[in-house]
Chains A and B, each alone.
Chain A
Amino acid sequence: MSVKDQAGTEPPREPILAPGHDLVSITDKISSLVLARGASRGWFVGVAVCLALVTLLMVSLAYLLLRGVGIWGLNNQVAWGFAIINFVWWIGIGHAGTLISAILLLLKQHWRTSINRFAEAMTIFAVMCAGIFPLIHVGRPWLAYWLLPYPNTMGLWPQFRSPLVWDVFAVSTYATVSALFWYVGLVPDLATLRDKAVGRPLKMIYGFLSMGWRGATHHWDRYETAYLLLAGIATPLVISVHSVIAFDFSVSVIPGWHTTIFPPYFVAGAVFSGFAMVLTIAIPVRAIYGLGDFITMRHIDNMAKVMLGTGLIVAYGYLMEIFIAWYGGNEYEVFMVKNRMLGPYAPAYWSLILCNVAIPQLLWSPKIRRNVRLLLAIALIVNVGMWLERFIIVVTSLHRDYLPANWNMYVPTFWDWATYGGTIGLFVLLLFLFVRFMPVISIFEMRTLVEPPHDEGADHTGLEQTEVEP
């Protein structure tokens, strides 16, 4: 064991791995979650509830295909509604995963190791939910493939100046890279499962998935390089994706959309909502599966801090919108801001401020950051808040734009809500399946906390107080 004790150089912090763990305990604890026979009653109940929601989703999609997007609250003034709001919301949520696994990796934030696995899973599932919306929101979904550049008998191509085409590329790239990243991370753990699994069928399944990984040093070598490069690539990607989503709005000419601040502030918002969602998932999972040793208060605390930080950036964004409207003195911008604050959708705006700006300030207090119940509540509130933000951006900007004669209202219908709820069901369902069949925490990376791959790595691992040696 080569833990260079530099505890003196920095204030004592909680460990990111509870004392008393060695390679064996880590390996066995995490893999047992998957390999343990049978699942709890609660798991089945949860899956059942989600399936119900997914059914609702299917029904609303079928009805949508039958009748057309008219079943939603859209109209000629507010031509974009829930579909776009939910799309942006889900994509945003996805961002935390990539951020944790990529950016924090580059920043050598070792505390990420115990959360990146399910954060990445969450990313993929969120992107799946998001992906549904652009498809179904078009008037003729059966022609949506026209957005792809493929040679055809019409001799026509997509129009590459359109942000929607950028979306197609950004989101599909994002989905692919996230999936690859996730899978690559899984391979060594799948090998572990292969070796620990009892019974040939299970061994074969994990055997195939792990591609015959055997931990050879050559492999580890390239593996680490690939992983690092992926992280390096994914970092600009994750930032670009929500910037591109922001372009959907900022490229337009609509007051409230046409704003240069959108890209950064969308990215911050995305991370904000993403970490909120990670917490929303981490806290229960940690409690249910007794992962307190691996996902320690240190993690919770750090995530809360990230939330606080990004939350402040978002708040700054709100402030800037108002300031620029006033400073720019554009009558339409000024009106847009007034309309958000005092117009018919004012309640939505003020609850947005409450959820995203006011309440997160509680996170300044360490006590609250360490109170998981309260933290869970705040995380949920932030999720709601971020959804409201997108609602405000999409609806209040459109419903009263340049010509007052057009002004109109947007009222979501049952089917709007049904579709939204359905995707939430799908998301949670996928999570349930994930925690049951895949290691929720990266086993081999946890091992590196005990056995740092690089000599210098140790000082960050926070293992100062741990005695691993027997």
Chain B
Amino acid sequence: MSERAVLDDAIYGSLAEFESADDLLAAVKAAREAGFRRMEAYTPHPIERVSHELGHKNHLPLVVLIGGALGAGSGFALQYYTSVISYPVRVGGKPLNSWPAFIIVVFEMTILFAAVAAVLGMFALNKLPQPYHPVFNASIFELASRNRYFLLIEARDPAFDPITTPAMLRDLTELQVVDVPS
């Protein structure tokens, strides 16, 4: 893909490879101090410290809460409408609105909606599916799903400079730093 990088010599960003999580963390700290904001770290497994450093907001719990509430509401509404309003029938001498019997379905609907909200929310907020992403253009990135840690500083970052930024990163890692063609 490097050809493509050459064709439109735009650069997506600069990608640095690290040996360990600690190195990565150090690099992130350094980069932030250097005033970089548009950057992203890639790791083969979750590392909370890094995300702390990068400082994200996470709205997922709210999404899930809404999902659950929606489930519960619709669950009861469905049962109330069908057995009290739509076609009321005497069943086993029970009241039309046998709410104790309705609890179970309400519960299950809550769970279902919450779970679906959690998963869809997670993918949506992560903007997945996204099979194509410029970072994949860097061949070393294959290791991101194996044992290497990466830090990407985007070219869009105002502080980004095609010469100095990679240089700074090179100081932070003994492994290689590459340009990611867009």
Contacts and interface: CB of A to CB of B under 8 A. Distances in A.
Q: Per the CB under 8 Å rule, do A and B touch in the complex?
A: yes
A211 B129 contact: yes
Contacts of B61: 225, 229
Given A173-B112, A216-B42, A218-B40, A155 B51 contact: no
- The prevalent SS among residues of B at the interface is helix
A67 interface: no
Contact of A453 (B22, B45, B143): B45
Given A195-B146, A223-B126, A233-B114, A157 B108 contact: no
Interface in B16-74: 20-22, 40-51, 54, 56, 58, 60-61, 64
Contacts of A159: 83, 91
A229 B118 contact: yes
Contacts of A444: 44-46
Contacts of B101: 160-161
B82 A170 contact: no
A331 interface: no
A192 B126 contact: no
Contacts of B108: 166, 169-170, 173, 237, 240, 244
Interface of A: 1-2, 22-24, 27, 149, 155-161, 165-166, 169-170, 172-173, 176-177, 180-181, 183-184, 188, 191-192, 194-196, 207-208, 211-226, 229-230, 233-234, 236-237, 240, 244, 247, 444-445, 447-448, 451, 453-455
Given A160-B83, A444-B44, A170 B104 contact: yes
Contact of A226 (B20, B105, B118, B143): B118
B2 interface: no
B87 A156 contact: yes
Q: How large is the interface on B (under 10, 10 to 19, 20 to 34, 35 or more residues)?
A: 35 or more
A214 B60 contact: no
Contact of A220 (B46, B64, B129, B136): B46
Chain B CB within 10 A, most for which of A237, A244, A451: A451
B107 to A, nearest CB: 6
B7 interface: no
Closest 6 pairs between A and B when the two form their complex, measured CB to CB: A226-B122, A211-B129, A157-B82, A23-B147, A220-B46, A447-B45
